[in-house]
Copies of this chain bind each other. A is one copy, B any other.
Amino acid sequence: MPIPQNYSRPERMSAKERAFLQIQRWIVDGTLQPGEKLSDGDLAEALGVSRTPIREALQTLEMQGFVEMHRGRDTRVTTITKDDIHKIYPPLAALQSLAAAMAAGCATAEFTERLRTTNGEFGMALKRRTPYQAMELDEEFHNAIVERTENPYIASFTSPLQLHVRRLKYVFFHDVMLSNESVIEHEQIITAFEQKDPQRAAEVMRHNWLRPMEELSRRLE
């Protein structure tokens, strides 16, 4: 009996983890809308577990800014306004920029090659008009750089912030909003890595995050 090798995860997920990922997805993609009330009892029933793992998941999501728990009252999905565009992007840009500067110092040839491959696929996905795949490849590009810094403090913050960006796009535009300019900027970042130029890597990276912010902002006026 042949068993598929890549069946989801080798390590089983805990109920809390499953609940966390599922509820997070629902919030990010807008299934659970901003301000919507969350009943842990209902979620427990929907996900087929007890309230305990749901509560734990909700508390984690509260830490990440996706839900607000009011003791004794209720638990709700956090609201977002267009102002959040200018609140989420700048810190993300700052940390990604830092990560780029750090990665520039220790970028090997095989690392830049890997980035170039990912960026190539990203560009192809844009041409192919498969925005969801493009978005995932864009995130893969940026995550690779963050992971390269081997700094868990940075990763632990950029990761949820990227999800907040996704949520912004879904909630306000029902769209992932990607621009072709990113491909060029990514290439410039890779070049800066090859030239061991942290300053330039940081500068381009910042621009690569602040430009989409401006684009979103303009489309809302």
Binding site for B on A (CB under 8 A): 14, 52, 55-56, 59-60, 63-65, 71, 87-88, 90-91, 94-95, 97-98, 102, 151-154, 156-157, 161, 164
Contact yes or no, A152 B98, CB < 8 A: no
Nearest B residue to A11 via CB reads: B71
The count of identical subunits is 2
Interface of A is mostly: helix
Q: Which residues of B contact A94 (CB under 8 A)?
A: 94-95, 97-98
Partner of A95, one of B52, B59, B91: B91
Q: How far apart sit A59 and B64, CA to CA, in the bound complex (Å)?
A: 13
A199 to B: closest C-beta gap in Å: 14
B63 touches A63 (CB 8 A): yes
The answer for the CA separation of A157 and B64 in the assembled complex, in Å, is 10
Would A153 and B65 be within 8 Å (CB), given that A59-B56, A59-B60, A90-B102 are in contact?
yes
Considering the chains assembled together, what is the distance between the CA atoms of A190 and B213 in angstroms? 29
Docked CA distance A14–B65 (Å): 20
CB distance from A208 to the nearest CB of B (A): 16
Could you jot down 14 A-B contacts, CB within 8 Å?
Answer: A52-B52, A56-B59, A60-B63, A65-B153, A87-B151, A87-B152, A90-B98, A90-B102, A90-B151, A91-B95, A91-B153, A94-B94, A94-B97, A153-B164
